[in-house]
Structure 1
């Protein structure tokens, strides 16, 4: 046995699906556990590195590291977001890959397709927020946006609020709404699906849960559409009027400090002096741990903004890796079979 062999497991998206990793309950439970671990000091969470290639379209690739100290695993998500891909190239707008390493020796243990986990993480965070902040018997959910994030969000919301009976969706094109309904209606035969035919008001007004899932850089959601008692999950950048937040009884973030450095609606409002930390009710981990209360009555308008936390992505990636290993799924690859100068033919390989 070669003591200097370094191997890791490669997991494709198809491997993850075969291993049963498209499991929203598993992802939600992982995220909740990791939020509490973060609160207890069990997570290293450095700032992400962002490279933006086009300011107008926000084409970018981000590098997001985090370490789970209890699990002794360090990971990084390398994620690209190219918002115009669907229209210009008929390709998805997001792709991601995870690298997981153990921190005893610092060697990699897995390279994992990350788009599935990344999209599920967004939905799981919204779903966890809905557990604490949406009216318990919510029946109507409205979407502006019909892409992958919207689809995942419906799965997450239905997981924690099975009382949902009606789903309305508005998108830029009617055919996008039809595709959303075609793909999801058979998953939830107990729900009525309504295509709003690009009319955001028709999708959102009077809904118990509202979700914006777009790449828009202009307000699409109007404050007058948000009824008392509604819960709003904000996913993207600048998708809503400032008054949506200003009229809310509670504002909750996945992490307020992180929000202040981003470009979401709340981030803009903070930089322009409309809100500060005193206006923020809680970070999500405080609701999960019970250190702060969630919804207190059925009339509160509540605003939730998630910008994305790399340590949650890494934890979900690790959970998926563990499930795949238990199922015996994945491809073992060698990073090296021996150290450089241990190769018997190294003299032939050197170029001087």
Structure 2
């Protein structure tokens, strides 16, 4: 067993396949199966939140897990966010992932985690659309012209080439135009609309990916037969969730541990485990149905699980070793060699 640690930059990860949505989709499908089989360990996420930084996007989250199966890896994603960063030309969120082997617990890899985090978030939405959206979906409405929204639309465009209408709304007209231009360079034509209602109300697949902390989306924007992806925090009002025929989460305990819309509804006695349809891994495994009727309104609430990050990171680590990619560094000392 080597005690060296592989350092992987974002460029290393791209070379290893971090932007290959088919690869990431395959890894995440297996991770969701392992979730249903309970072949994982993941404590509640740790939130570092200061009272003098009240904005919802100002925090650091630690997500740790052991993922079994073919991955058999432990690790943590340390993801930090600041809402002022875009004004300084910096990404709102950044992350570092550390992988530890499950026997000796040595740090086998340290890698840039922002790309992995963003890609797994976007690809999970693509997987959800495969199981939960109408197969004849034509219109996608997105609120929030940011990185996650861009990657999600790109994933949908690759896996659902029949979708013909992409709409985006953002409170910043400048950001919406930049988003439109970026997506056009990726071969995805996006129309800018003037309100969140214009984006979501006609959408077969509705997506919110914002840092909004005050609910604003009402049941009027929940189209019959649509899939709504609550990728961000507090966009939908309670009545929107209550209008759903099915509520599906990735992990019930993680969802109610947070301060997002389902957790708040749970605390107010409006929602419990028995009242939701189930967890997404159950759909993937076939133990519960996904979409059963073309008129169903399905509310999909992905909390974002550490097992997703660790599974993806472990595969990219193994692919990096095979290339080889990255830089080997020595973090672990030899016992007794310090001060003696």
For the aligned pair, the TM-score class normalised by the smaller chain equals over 0.9
- SS of 2:145's equivalent in the other structure is coil
Q: Please name the residue that 1:93 is paired with.
A: 92
Q: Please name the residue that 2:191 is paired with.
A: 194
Superposed CA offset, 1:48-102 (max 9, x none)? 2211024521311121110123333211111112233224x33211111011111
Q: Please name the residue that 1:138 is paired with.
A: 137
Moved more, 312-321 or 280-289: 312-321
Q: Please name the residue that 1:56 is paired with.
A: 54
| 8 A Cα contact 1:10 1:331, kept in partner | yes
State the shift of 1:222 in Å.
Answer: 2.5
- SS of 1:238's equivalent in the other structure is coil
Moved more, 110-119 or 23-32: 23-32
State the shift of 1:146 in Å.
Answer: 0.6
Count of matched residue pairs: 337
Superposed CA offset, 1:262-307 (max 9, x none)? 1111111111222222220010100000000011111111100011
State the shift of 1:179 in Å.
Answer: 1.1
Q: Please name the residue that 2:225 is paired with.
A: 229
Moved more, 18-27 or 290-299: 18-27
Superposed CA offset, 1:180-216 (max 9, x none)? 111112323xx5310114x111222211100000000
Tell me, which stretches of 5 or more residues in structure 1 are unaligned? 348-352
State the shift of 1:133 in Å.
Answer: 0.7
- SS of 2:32's equivalent in the other structure is helix
C-alpha distance in 1 between matches for 2:154 and 2:275: 30
C-alpha distance in 2 between matches for 1:41 and 1:277: 17
Q: RMSD value over aligned CA atoms?
A: 1.8
Q: Please name the residue that 1:12 is paired with.
A: 9
| 8 A Cα contact 1:50 1:63, kept in partner | yes
| 8 A Cα contact 1:25 1:159, kept in partner | no
| Structure exhibiting the larger radius of gyration computed from Cα positions | 1
Q: Answer yes or no: is 1:79 the counterpart of 2:79.
A: yes
**Alignment of structure 1 residues 100-179 onto 2, 5 Å:** 100-179=99-178
Superposed CA offset, 1:224-278 (max 9, x none)? 1221011000011110121211111111011122111111111111112222222
Moved more, 286-295 or 42-51: 42-51
State the shift of 1:143 in Å.
Answer: 0.6
Q: Answer yes or no: is 1:256 the counterpart of 2:248.
A: no
| 8 A Cα contact 1:253 1:259, kept in partner | yes
Alignment match of 2:203 (pick from 194, 203, 207): 207
C-alpha distance in 1 between matches for 2:263 and 2:84: 23
The answer to which structure has the higher strand fraction is 1
Q: Answer yes or no: is 1:298 the counterpart of 2:278.
A: no
- SS of 1:320's equivalent in the other structure is helix
- SS of 1:248's equivalent in the other structure is coil
| 8 A Cα contact 2:180 2:189, kept in partner | no
TM-score, normalisation: structure 2? 0.94
C-alpha distance in 2 between matches for 1:162 and 1:47: 37
TM-score, normalisation: structure 1? 0.91
State the shift of 1:19 in Å.
Answer: 2.8
C-alpha distance in 2 between matches for 1:124 and 1:209: 15
C-alpha distance in 1 between matches for 2:159 and 2:248: 18
- SS of 1:119's equivalent in the other structure is helix
Residue 97 to residue 227, structure 1, CA distance change in 2 (3 Å): same
- SS of 1:219's equivalent in the other structure is coil
- SS of 1:329's equivalent in the other structure is coil
State the shift of 1:336 in Å.
Answer: 4.2
| 8 A Cα contact 2:249 2:302, kept in partner | yes
C-alpha distance in 1 between matches for 2:190 and 2:141: 10
Alignment match of 1:29 (pick from 21, 26, 29): 26
State the shift of 1:317 in Å.
Answer: 0.9
